[in-house]
Amino acid sequence: MTLDKNKFDGLANETLAHLLDVIDEKLGDVMEVDMENEMLTIDLENGGQYIINKHAPNRQIWLSSPLSGASHYDFDETGESWIDSRSGENLMPKLAAELARLSGMAFSLD
């Protein structure tokens, strides 16, 4: 079921704000984390960059990763999580694993 615009906006904004807060708090010393115009960027020391943003026309969150490339996430209301539209992966564990790998630090998005 597709989310209506207001519900999507609320969930996507909440997710992006959560990611900003947690990543900046836990990894802000080793990564530059910023959000502008509903686009979260995570700049890595090696020059790589993550971009995470909401894509309102498709009601998705889009992730551009220097490790795994581009992926698009739909909200699963049953599991209350963002799920990759192609692979079925959950956004939070996938992003946490990649950031842990790149930072060399144990990391979760809880």
Give the domain range for residue 39. Answer: 5-86+93-103
Tally the domains of the chain. 1
Instruction: Say if 109 falls within a structural domain.
Output: no
Which H helix or E strand runs over 34?
strand 31-36
Quote the pLDDT of residue 15: 98
Quote the pLDDT of residue 1: 53
Residue 107 has pLDDT above 90, yes or no: no
Conformational region of residue 78, where left means phi above 0, alpha means psi within -120 to 50, and beta covers everything else = alpha
Give the Cβ contact number of residue 40 at 10 Å: 22
Please state whether beta strands 69-76 and 39-44 pair in parallel, antiparallel, or not at all (unpaired).
Answer: unpaired
Instruction: Say if 64 falls within a structural domain.
Output: yes
The structure tokens listed for 17 are: 């704000």
Instruction: Say if 70 falls within a structural domain.
Output: yes
Instruction: Say if 110 falls within a structural domain.
Output: no
CATH number at residue 23: 3.30.920.10
Quote the pLDDT of residue 57: 95
What pLDDT, in 10s, does the model give residues 47-93?
Answer: 999 999 999 999 999 999 999 999 999 999 999 999 999 999 999 99
What's the pTM value of the predicted model, to 2 decimals? 0.93
- Mean pLDDT along residues 11-24: 97
Instruction: Say if 63 falls within a structural domain.
Output: yes
